[in-house]
Chain A
């Protein structure tokens, strides 16, 4: 299928916000960020900076006309610091100048006197100090207290998972124009145009109808632009509004990495109980979520951790505690998986450890406990159309788990310094925003008098292929050439009150709204066509490939004819439609409810090779059977799965975020924060769809695809752990991700009992 976006991309002709031509009077912004993780601001000295020729103005908190507040779930985040700084990278002042260079030179001349206060970077330490952003969250099912008695094996332990930098290739960028003396238009690289609109309106003390946000497309988001584009958009809006000229801000990569939030690091305790056959009877755990200095989306992310803490397994007795810990790091935020991966890692670690204790292989426990149709999740919802077991079985029959194991055993017995390890990784991911009200979307569809179609939705194209999918949906309903359909930019004036493009749900929500809109318009057109063709009310009219059919026979009328005629007859050729996911609710008091529209399942088998002499490794293959429902765009869906997997395995292996104890990020550039490159990505990736799957809740029976596959990457940790154990059978695996080559080497060869890494901590 021809995708015009793709054609523009390969020609370098697609416009990202930094490519929009700007008027000559545009000012460029540079931000002074807090150099300290915690302290009291004594003085901000602007004298030197303001003297730099070409500087227009320097903004501080007192220049904000509205509220200096950008918090979402909790109102706890200032746009510009007032009397305290709470993390390295917190915006303190903004220089507006004629050029980017001048702005930066002036920014570097601002002096801030800060009285240093004690900084906390560790979530457990924050918890001990009472630094919780919200009260503890508890999910439970069954009766955990009595369940332990029935267990034959009880294992406990701790796990750590590191943060992850989004590395969207396009850094945060915003361009704002004053409009007609009273409003503002912002081009923002955001996943959430409405959120940007709300925050900018709040900061400027404007009603939302005077703030227009437009998003042409974004160069990757992955959650990092769900909430965290707000500050930059609000800052450019502030400058443009105040100076009455366009204002532009592009975060240089080093600043983007340093000052924006990341995937939450978690430190967790677990205790798991099983019977002698490996059936899990009880599971209790506590998550210490490192939220950073402000709430951002942390509470919602913590929810999802708790939802997905049992992964694909049925566990009758469960108790989960989630602690949202405030630390002096940049506020952590959404990242593909939204807390799910952190929860799933812990249960997989618990199973791995239990298997070790029981002297069996982890996949025995994994398989035995997979969800069955009708099983109840710990949050009260029942598993419906549950394909967890089907995916596992299909994987086994397609790839022969036993054969893979045998070939690995053979390899390992004939190689001394190279060891292979494998792991299975089932996944289960609930689809819907965990905040029920967000599960809505609306679209605006125009059919123009020449038969072309324009669609506005709030879904932001960020590489996930939403535009192609929406075009497909409209083309299918109207049964017209796909080239007639254009997807407009996401714009708050055309589509209001929208949820961000997130939670993998943009196709489901916007697609369903689009179905409603297209069907409404189609009905109007066919009604009008019936009149034109002098057909009876009850005759059956349809469009097939642009031609109107009556009771199965082609007529002389084409799409363009009926559009034209309807227009002349003053039929309304535009419509707006809204969709709200039915049947979902969640009672936050008791943590029970049908939180999700449906679940996505799948299983991966992963093979790795470890060079035990050098402590470096290779990911040989990731083979998956994934439940796509009925995919209506296989290329896009497979691409999402592949991309997600590589992001997930990057998180678990080499993507090492290192803060020092002072809360300064050491890994602040591409040269020292490494994401997978083409050689690191698995040599082989094979993603097969689960056959005969369907999903009435999805568009054309499809399933959401954005986030779930990322979690297959978790299996790489355990595959490597198995390779390590093949080399040194007696080591105890520490469940600390990312499993960098350094951690592998220290585990295999360290003589000191001390925890390594004395200068830097995670």
Chain B
């Protein structure tokens, strides 16, 4: 059983920015972006939206793992400085060398720059992917900039730059385990990257940390930093910490356990989860952006209790159990009983969500997740939904459907599921189920859509689940109504 190592707040925060060691006593809740721009005077990192939604402020954050450093792209605007302790961060300045590096050169080759305000962010994100992806190709690099917005270019020239880069360089980059060395060799990152592991070892030894127990609990901070910017500055924050030696995702007694602090990307990349939930990587490619997925945690998604949290909606149908702790006292709550109202849930103020667990779905169980939003990527759902279902000889035997954005909290469509359980899988029953779902939900009109739209979406998504999972049983023609 994994356990919270405690709550940490270092008085002095030590980290490396580019090739320099930084020590600061600044409020750990302060935004990394402000620190980078106003204290370190590194102006290549830009502020545009300040809510994690544009990537202009992208930086890399590297964490020591054995003798290697693992890098991820993150948005510095919603990143608390405290989260940098013991890490290496890289800004655009830290990628510059005497001559343009090949990523920069590819942007020049294809004129993928207009006003230039977004450009450093794109270069950083692409480099982040080069440092961290096992495979380097057009698709992986395109995915790496799903959190970078450009208002000028229409992206066509940026796509051409990636093609240009892939054509010229991708065949050279193939050793995932010696990646930093490789990139140094080809001039993609500067040589100082090679000395970072040693430097990190030294600063982590130096760091003395005081432990405190008050303040806002922060995991990835991707929700809390948007909602409570001011309170954080006043109250301070405490970071959730897990013992990094323990696995975040593991199987025990036919049960899968995921640490609350697992990030969306850790979940997407987990070989265990990909085995038992085959399309999970695909589903959560619709969650935020690369930068957000590198920070956003499962625990944060569940405790944030947004009615449209994507992971929450997904793990609801798995009948998951939430495991809380408070001063060593453990408590379990079924996720299906957890939510009580808008941002109301069964958790005591000081309780920390440690893990969530679910029984590994039996053979034959099928799962699907759907999310509909105005913009397909990097957008919050208008409605999302997951389904878990078993059909034997055309009879639905086990079923659970969840839906987000249609009630004050993430909802299990219990009545709808109950109606379908034991029924024959046919269009008549599905349509009836849609009518029941309509009765069961209580969407409101807001910027993500009118109540009427959301009602239509729930029904259509139910049909979409079946269309996707049982294309042979539910014919497309039948779904035109």
Q: What is the interface of chain A, defined by CB distance below 8 A to chain B? A: 2-3, 5-16, 18-19, 21, 101, 166-171, 217-220, 222, 252-253, 415-417, 462-465, 612-616, 635-636, 638-639, 642-647, 654, 656, 658, 666-667, 669-672, 674-681, 685, 727, 740-742, 745-746, 749-750, 752, 756-760
Q: Find chain B residues with CB under 8 A from A654 CB.
A: 374-375
Distance to closest chain A CB from B393 (angstroms):
26
Whether B117 lies near A685 (C-beta < 8 A) is: no
Q: Which of A252, A642, A669 meets B156, CB within 8 Å?
A: A642
Q: Find chain B residues with CB under 8 A from A658 CB.
A: 447
Whether A671 lies near B156 (C-beta < 8 A) is: no
Whether A12 lies near B154 (C-beta < 8 A) is: no
Binds A, one of B1-9, B39-47, B245-253, B421-429: B39-47
User: Given the complex of chains A and B, what is the CA–CA distance between A166 and B115 in angstroms?
Assistant: 14
Of all chain B residues, the one with the shortest Cβ separation from A758 is: B445
Are A169 and B151 also in contact (CB < 8 A) when A12-B43, A416-B480 are?
A: yes
Interface of B is mostly: loop
Whether B453 lies near A742 (C-beta < 8 A) is: yes
Q: Which of A10, A12, A168, A646 meets B108, CB within 8 Å?
A: A10
Are A642 and B460 also in contact (CB < 8 A) when A11-B104, A677-B375 are?
A: no
Whether A666 lies near B461 (C-beta < 8 A) is: no
Of all chain A residues, the one with the shortest Cβ separation from B43 is: A19
Between-chain CB contacts (< 8 Å), 22 pairs = A6-B116, A10-B104, A11-B96, A15-B43, A18-B43, A169-B117, A220-B114, A463-B113, A635-B157, A666-B446, A669-B49, A671-B51, A671-B53, A671-B380, A674-B374, A676-B375, A677-B375, A678-B155, A679-B376, A742-B453, A745-B453, A759-B444
Whether A639 lies near B114 (C-beta < 8 A) is: yes
User: Given the complex of chains A and B, what is the CA–CA distance between A449 and B457 in angstroms?
Assistant: 71
Distance to closest chain A CB from B90 (angstroms):
12
- Across chains A and B, the number of contacting residue pairs, with CB separation under 8 Å, is 254
Whether A465 lies near B374 (C-beta < 8 A) is: no
B382 part of interface (Cβ distance < 8 Å): yes
B residues 122-174 with Cβ under 8 Å of A? Answer: 123, 142, 145-146, 148-159
User: Given the complex of chains A and B, what is the CA–CA distance between A171 and B46 in angstroms?
Assistant: 11
User: Given the complex of chains A and B, what is the CA–CA distance between A553 and B269 in angstroms?
Assistant: 69
Whether B448 lies near A5 (C-beta < 8 A) is: no
Q: Find chain B residues with CB under 8 A from A670 CB.
A: 49, 51, 53-54, 149
Q: Find chain B residues with CB under 8 A from A219 CB.
A: 46, 115-117
B residues 345-385 with Cβ under 8 Å of A? Answer: 370, 372-380, 382
Whether A760 lies near B479 (C-beta < 8 A) is: no
User: Given the complex of chains A and B, what is the CA–CA distance between A11 and B93 in angstroms?
Assistant: 7
Are A463 and B152 also in contact (CB < 8 A) when A6-B111, A12-B45 are?
A: yes
Distance to closest chain B CB from A619 (angstroms):
11
Q: What is the interface of chain B, defined by CB distance below 8 A to chain A? A: 41, 43-51, 53-54, 56, 91-93, 96, 100, 104, 107-108, 110-111, 113-120, 123, 142, 145-146, 148-159, 226, 233, 370, 372-380, 382, 444-453, 456-457, 460-461, 463-464, 467, 476-477, 479-480
Q: Which of A6, A253, A676 meets B50, CB within 8 Å?
A: A253
Whether B100 lies near A7 (C-beta < 8 A) is: yes
User: Given the complex of chains A and B, what is the CA–CA distance between A18 and B42 in angstroms?
Assistant: 12
User: Given the complex of chains A and B, what is the CA–CA distance between A217 and B152 in angstroms?
Assistant: 14
User: Given the complex of chains A and B, what is the CA–CA distance between A756 and B450 in angstroms?
Assistant: 7
Of all chain A residues, the one with the shortest Cβ separation from B56 is: A169
CB-CB nearest 6 A-B residue pairs: A12-B44, A463-B115, A9-B116, A463-B114, A646-B154, A219-B117
User: Given the complex of chains A and B, what is the CA–CA distance between A252 and B315 in angstroms?
Assistant: 36
User: Given the complex of chains A and B, what is the CA–CA distance between A2 and B109 in angstroms?
Assistant: 9
Whether B48 lies near A746 (C-beta < 8 A) is: no
Distance to closest chain A CB from B48 (angstroms):
5
Q: Which of B111, B377, B378, B453 meets A635, CB within 8 Å?
A: B111
User: Given the complex of chains A and B, what is the CA–CA distance between A217 and B116 in angstroms?
Assistant: 10
Q: Which of B100, B117, B374 meets A11, CB within 8 Å?
A: B100
Whether A8 lies near B47 (C-beta < 8 A) is: no
User: Given the complex of chains A and B, what is the CA–CA distance between A451 and B59 in angstroms?
Assistant: 41
Known: A169-B149, A670-B54. 9 other contacts (CB 8 A): A10-B100, A13-B96, A253-B49, A462-B115, A639-B154, A646-B153, A669-B53, A679-B146, A749-B456
Distance to closest chain B CB from A490 (angstroms):
14
User: Given the complex of chains A and B, what is the CA–CA distance between A667 and B118 in angstroms?
Assistant: 22
Whether A13 lies near B44 (C-beta < 8 A) is: yes
Q: Find chain A residues with CB under 8 A from B479 CB.
A: 416-417, 613
User: Given the complex of chains A and B, what is the CA–CA distance between A757 and B41 in angstroms?
Assistant: 47
Q: Find chain B residues with CB under 8 A from A656 CB.
A: 374
Whether B445 lies near A757 (C-beta < 8 A) is: yes
Distance to closest chain B CB from A456 (angstroms):
20
Are A675 and B374 also in contact (CB < 8 A) when A750-B456, A758-B451 are?
A: no
Whether A685 lies near B154 (C-beta < 8 A) is: yes
Of all chain B residues, the one with the shortest Cβ separation from A683 is: B159
Most buried by B among A614, A672, A677: A677
Distance to closest chain A CB from B299 (angstroms):
21
User: Given the complex of chains A and B, what is the CA–CA distance between A531 and B265 in angstroms?
Assistant: 74
User: Given the complex of chains A and B, what is the CA–CA distance between A756 and B157 in angstroms?
Assistant: 39
Whether B375 lies near A674 (C-beta < 8 A) is: yes
User: Given the complex of chains A and B, what is the CA–CA distance between A654 and B156 in angstroms?
Assistant: 19
Q: Find chain B residues with CB under 8 A from A669 CB.
A: 49, 51, 53
Whether A746 lies near B448 (C-beta < 8 A) is: no
Of all chain A residues, the one with the shortest Cβ separation from B476 is: A416
Most buried by B among A5, A613, A758: A613
Whether A11 lies near B154 (C-beta < 8 A) is: no
Distance to closest chain A CB from B184 (angstroms):
18
